[in-house]
Amino acid sequence: MRFALDALFTDVPAEQVDEARDFYKSRAAGRGPSSLEELKEARAKRSAPPAADPPALEETIEAAAARVPVRIFTPVDGPPRGVYLDIHGGGFYMDSAARGDKRNRELADALQLAVVSVDYRLAPEHPWPAAPDDCEAAALWLVEEADARFGTSRLAIGGSSAGATLALATLLRLRDKGAVGRFTGAALQFGTYDLSARTPAGRRIADEYFIQAYVGHVEDRTIPDISPIYGVLRGLPPMLLIVGSTDVLLEDNLALAGRLAAAGNDVELRVYPDSPHGFTGHPTAMARTALSGAESWLRDRITQS
Which position among 119, 252, 275, 277 bears the catalytic label? 277
Identify whether the C-beta of residue 267 lies closer than 8 Å to the C-beta of residue 261: yes
Active site residue 153: no
Q: Please name the amino acid found at residue 302.
A: I
Residue 43: closest CA among 100, 93, 78: 93
C-beta of residue 84 within 8 angstroms of C-beta of residue 64: no
Q: How many CA atoms lie within 13 A of 210 on its CB side?
A: 19
Give strand pairing partners of 268: 240
Tell me which H or E stretch contains 106: helix 101-111
Instruction: In whole angstroms, give the CA distance from residue 12 to residue 279.
Output: 15
CA distance 228 to 181: 19
Helices 130-150, 162-176: axis angle to 10 degrees equals 70
Query: How far apart are alpha carbons 117 and 49 in whole angstroms?
Result: 14
List the catalytic residue out of 247, 252, 274, 275: 247
Distance CA 39, CA 93 (A): 8
Whether 305 is catalytic is no
Q: Is 96 noted as a catalytic residue in this protein?
A: no
Out of 96, 161, 245, 275, pick the active-site residue: 161
What are the catalytic residues? 161, 247, 277
